[in-house]
Structure 1
Amino acid sequence: MSKHHPRIRLRKPNGVPIACDALSINFYMRHPHRELAPGLVRSFELYRHAMGGHVLGQYMEETGNWAELDDSGWERLHRETLDDPFPYYDLREMTGEESFYRIDYRGPLFVAPEEEPDRVCAVSFWLPTEYLEEHGPGQVRELALELAAPLPFCSGHAGFAFNTEHDLLYAKPELRKLCFLHPGMDAPRISTLSMELGTKVRSASWLTFLGQPVLGEFGGASGLRARLRSPDITVQELEGERVVVTLGSWPEAGEDGRMPPSYRELARVLEPWLFHERYLVDSTLTPEELRRWERRLLD
């Protein structure tokens, strides 16, 4: 399988961007926001430092307006993250029409996880694929591990993805076609996942992060290793009874619907815990098409 990813730059006839190829790093946490807020602030700062200073220039306030994310803006954002029990963030770079650098966060609408068993705190960190080309996959993997360290995740994943607004992927035929051509490219809809994922696992990805309770169902890291045979799969233990599963040295986008065997092997091992979207909000996909896409690494 080629290590080269497709170059995707889709635009509307008027030039407005629709989607581009990207890398996304995502984590899902079954904790009240107040418990994970200090770690979230730490991860925000790690991303900010790694990407360089003021690459994120604006964020959306609760009013729906965009505010400047200068030094004072970051201080305000940190205070809100620590003080607001139900925050909701979109952080973007400020230059140009396309946001190659992004952080999206959805806090839960619960005080205690048992009140809403499917809701999670969800965070996504986005990078342009040019970052991978310049710095290499080793540095991207290390960044993902640094971002993960302060967060009490149940699960997470990192790899190629379509950088687009959450509802456009299902509404645009050209994007739907690309989904099936490149099954290694995800389309994480963070708003949907924050409401529905619970303790399920999103997918088998280049980097798949597993915590509790799923890792415990395998009998820990050693039990998970015993089920995985491919030499391209490594299981690294992390602090707090968590692991990251890595599929090869480079992320893969896939070609003509095909992926390396290690992706299918991990997907089959995770199958009992894989997430299936229940509600097709703002989607032109039929339920059958959605299931076929969700099972693209299994069938």
Structure 2
Amino acid sequence: MTREYPIIRLWSKGSPPVPAARDGVILSFLIHRNHKEIAVAVWRALQLYLRAIPPGSLGWYDTDDGDILELDDKSWEVVRQQMLERPRGQSGRAGLSESPGGGEVSSGFFFEYRGRPLDNPFDTDPVCTVSFAFPTNYIQGNGAEHLRALALELARELPFNFGYASFAIISSHGMWSAAKWALVEALLARYPGLDLHGIESFGSILGTRALGPSWLTFLGQPLLGQLGGIDTLRNALPFPEVSLLPMDGDRVLVTLDDWPDPIDTQTKAIPPQYRALARLMEPFLFQYEGEGLPLYKHDTNQWLRRFL
């Protein structure tokens, strides 16, 4: 069994236009630990991802000076050093993508990591972020259960506080921001189950808060304890589509449906299990605070509460 998904192709506003974003599935984890504590675990998770996707799917890497270069045996060592052996060792980052842009379709596979120190005086409430992207045809070809099993395998490597997997508008390097915003906004309004990948934008401010429910929702500490633990989750989510899988380290994987659901509001209502989990998570959802917020912060607050 497979499932049909909307085909999304967004192009940049420039001339000539280049591919900016596409449909896919994003898997992201937020880890409230110092980069030095988790870098090796993230490197192991990257090796799992590489073994799970078609050989050669990641062909380009980000350099420290902002360039994008082709991956070869020598540059893989550069990537390893970017993540594990920076001179000061307090932070690390890596970006790997299927293509640097151009052609007819933007990158479907990519990996992004940003490791931070928790005591960075320039960050409000920092967190390390790691994301793995898959084009839609990956889940259609391999099945949702395969991707769920892979997500669980990756999660077991990472000491996450929060994580999720969702059907999404995906683009490496945040290229979706180069597309016409009216098109992005229309997609998000129609499909509340559609994530807009941009996890790194929350990396300096999220701390241990949540970003809302998704197809797969990974809950670690302290968030799971704040929600009341697994028993409270079971009581709040008495739906046949929902499963809860306890994980080591007092964590849990909440699966809200058999397949990731973009939730096309032109044909259906928001499923009740999404609303129920959102209500439970509401006190711990990230929100920008203050009066007179810029429009983008106001819109972000509304979008994060879209299931309430």
Q: CA, structure 1 residues 185+212, in 2 after alignment: closer, same or farther (shift >3 Å)?
A: same
Alpha-carbon shift at residue 234 of structure 1 (Å) = 1.1
Equivalent in the alignment of 2:302: 292
Q: Gaps spanning 5+ residues in structure 1: where?
A: none
Is the 1:36–1:151 Cα contact (8 Å) retained in structure 2? yes
Which residue of 2 is the match for residue 196 of structure 1? 205
Matched, 1:157 2:168: no
CA deviations on 1:54-83 (whole Å, 9 max, x unpaired) are 211111111112233223322332233222
In 1: Cα distance, 2:121 partner to 2:220 partner: 18
Check whether the contact 1:3–1:252 (CA below 8 A) recurs between aligned residues.
Answer: no
Q: TM-score, normalised by structure 2?
A: 0.87
Cα distance in 1, alignment partners of residues 79 and 20 from structure 2: 28
- Residue 240 of structure 1 and its aligned partner are, at CA, apart by 1.1
Q: 8 Å contact 2:10–2:179 — kept in the other structure?
A: no
Cα gap change, 1:220 to 1:18, in 2 (>3 Å) = same
The root-mean-square deviation of aligned C-alpha atoms, in Å, is 2.6
Distance 1:18 1:166 in 2: 5
CA contact (8 A) 1:221 1:243 kept: yes
What is residue 148 of structure 1 aligned with on the other side?
A: 155
* Alignment partners' CA distance in 2, 1:47 and 1:261: 32
Aligned residues: 293
Whether the 8 Å CA contact 2:19–2:101 is kept in 1: the answer is no
Matched residue of 2:157: which SS?
coil
Which residue of structure 2 lines up, in the alignment, with residue 106 of structure 1? Answer: 114
Structure 1 residue corresponding to 2:84, chosen from 79, 82, 85:
82
TM alignment of 1:28-177, pairs within 5 A: 28-84=30-86, 85-94=90-99, 97=102, 98-108=106-116, 110=117, 112=119, 118-164=125-171, 165=174, 168=177, 172-177=181-186
Identity %: 37
More off after superposition, 207-216 vs 86-95: 86-95
| Aligned residue among 12, 18, 21 for 1:19 | 21
Structure 2 CA distance for aligned equivalents of residues 58 and 215 of structure 1 = 37
CA distance in 2, matches of 1:115, 1:235: 37
TM norm structure 1:
0.89
The more displaced of 205-214 and 256-265 is 256-265
CA distance in 2, matches of 1:241, 1:115: 31
Deviates more, 1:63-72 or 1:150-159: 63-72
Distance (Å, rounded) in 1 between the aligned partners of 2:178 and 2:4: 22
Alignment partner of 1:266 out of 274, 277, 280: 277
SS at match of 1:196: coil
